[in-house]
């Protein structure tokens, strides 16, 4: 079922083996949608510090179904994932328990955690614009609203409008401007696209590199991932990150987050792990590995991430965005964004 982090294997889709009763007195069991190598340094640092082993099961999909099927027999203590949409889906399924812990409340800004304590954002990523260094001047785009400007006609690339990242961005637009304006914005943005939505975020930066478009929507950490990949380095270097803001707001951010399962058999040690994750040491290790932003005050992003520039995060509570997701998705479909 679980693998110690150093020999972690993908279990996505695998049948659930029978579980032997836990022997170790102290351990933490983690179900993760994040790749084992992204959490390995964090887990290693935690185990080194506390002596508590962490067992990680990497899931590609089906987290909610698995936790429901396992019920109160689940070995999982914690679930680790990205995006408020996924976190709220897990919470809505009734498979988590609240954590009421002063260290977490102090470390994590209120907008980035569930007011009832069922989920906690542990890093943030901004959804930004990648702009061609050659064809887009500094300051040419400063707001998300600007993406609707006709000067971008035939120049914008993006992944599908129904992808959770774009749905969350649209939910934020709805929060700031309401339904009518959001529909107009989506329609104008669609009209500015260089091609039908397709591919992932990095494929859009590749399209900038290839000259197919001049600006693209993408999450910040992909810049780090592309720079680390010899095949994608040129794509990354053809573009720079621009942090747009909403008029009257900030840059759109989403989170990676953690939640404690209802069945958690190792509640005390699991809590220690979460506390470590939001400590300055845990924050920096985890954020650096993922090219993300730490959430705890006093924790700094890595030098590379900091080099992309600083920004003011939008102040909308992620709970509010989660609530607006269905409307955002409906609007995407109404304007036939991908069509
Ligand atoms: Fe991503």
Please check whether residues 135 and 221 belong to one and the same domain. Answer: yes
167 C-alpha to ligand 1 centroid (Å): 13
Please check whether residues 208 and 170 belong to one and the same domain. Answer: yes
pTM for this entry: 0.90
188 C-alpha to ligand 1 centroid (Å): 25
26 C-alpha to ligand 1 centroid (Å): 33
The CATH number that applies at residue 279 is 3.40.190.10
83 C-alpha to ligand 1 centroid (Å): 9
- Residues 267 and 100: beta-carbon distance below 8 Å: no
Please check whether residues 62 and 139 belong to one and the same domain. Answer: no
Please check whether residues 274 and 233 belong to one and the same domain. Answer: no
- Tokens coding 61: 């999909």
- Give how many domains the chain has, as a whole number: 2
**73: β partners:** none
Report pLDDT for 1.
57
Please check whether residues 204 and 328 belong to one and the same domain. Answer: yes
Q: Dump pLDDT digits (tens) for 222-281.
A: 999 999 999 999 999 999 999 999 999 999 999 999 999 999 999 999 999 999 999 999
- Residues 221 and 56: beta-carbon distance below 8 Å: no
Tokens 């064809």: give the residue: 135
Is 339 part of any domain?
Answer: no
What is the dihedral angle through the alpha carbons of 1, 72, 104, 108, rounded to the nearest 10 degrees?
80
Is 305 part of any domain?
Answer: no
Report pLDDT for 10.
37
116 C-alpha to ligand 1 centroid (Å): 26
271 C-alpha to ligand 1 centroid (Å): 26
- Residues 315 and 249: beta-carbon distance below 8 Å: yes
Report pLDDT for 261.
98
Report pLDDT for 25.
67
166 C-alpha to ligand 1 centroid (Å): 11
Please check whether residues 279 and 327 belong to one and the same domain. Answer: no
257 C-alpha to ligand 1 centroid (Å): 13
217 C-alpha to ligand 1 centroid (Å): 12
Report pLDDT for 85.
86
Q: For residue 257, what are the domain limits? A: 3-124+253-300
Please check whether residues 275 and 190 belong to one and the same domain. Answer: no
202 C-alpha to ligand 1 centroid (Å): 9
**Residues in the chain, how many?**
339
What is the dihedral angle through the alpha carbons of 314, 320, 323, 324, rounded to the nearest 10 degrees?
-40
Please check whether residues 112 and 38 belong to one and the same domain. Answer: yes
219 C-alpha to ligand 1 centroid (Å): 7
Segments of the chain scoring below 50 in pLDDT = 6-22
258 C-alpha to ligand 1 centroid (Å): 16
């Amino acid at each position: 079922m679980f693998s110690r982090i150093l020999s972690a294997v993908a279990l996505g889709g695998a049948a659930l083996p029978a579980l032997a009763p836990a022997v170790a007195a102290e351990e933490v069991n983690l179900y993760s949608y994040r790749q084992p190598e992204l959490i390995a340094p964090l887990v290693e640092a935690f185990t080194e510090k506390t002596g508590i082993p962490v067992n990680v099961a990497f899931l590609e999909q089906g987290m909610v179904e698995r936790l429901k099927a396992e019920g109160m027999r689940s070995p999982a203590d914690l679930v680790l994932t990205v995006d408020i949409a996924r976190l709220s889906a897990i919470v809505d399924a009734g498979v988590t328990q609240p954590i009421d812990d002063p260290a977490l409340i102090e470390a994590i800004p209120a907008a980035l955690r569930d007011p009832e304590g069922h989920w906690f954002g542990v890093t943030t990523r901004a959804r930004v614009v990648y702009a061609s260094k050659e064809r887009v001047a500094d300051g040419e785009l400063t707001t998300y609203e600007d993406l609707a400007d006709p000067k971008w006609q035939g120049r914008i690339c993006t992944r599908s409008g129904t992808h959770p990242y774009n749905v969350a961005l649209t939910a934020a637009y709805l929060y700031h401007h309401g339904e009518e304006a959001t529909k107009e914005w989506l329609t104008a943005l669609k009209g500015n696209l260089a091609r039908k939505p397709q591919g992932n975020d990095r494929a859009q930066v590749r399209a900038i590199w290839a000259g197919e478009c001049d600006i693209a929507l993408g999450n910040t950490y992909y810049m780090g991932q592309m720079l680390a990949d010899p095949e994608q380095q040129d794509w990354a270097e053809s573009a720079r990150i621009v942090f747009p803001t909403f008029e009257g707001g900030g840059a759109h951010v989403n989170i990676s987050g953690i939640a404690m399962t209802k069945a958690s058999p190792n509640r005390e040690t699991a809590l220690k792990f979460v506390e470590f994750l939001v400590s300055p040491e845990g924050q920096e290790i985890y954020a650096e590995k993922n090219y993300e932003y730490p959430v705890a005050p006093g924790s700094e992003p890595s030098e590379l991430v900091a080099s992309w520039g600083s920004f003011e995060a939008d102040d909308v509570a992620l709970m509010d965005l989660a609530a607006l997701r269905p409307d955002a998705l409906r609007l995407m479909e109404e304007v036939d964004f991908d069509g």
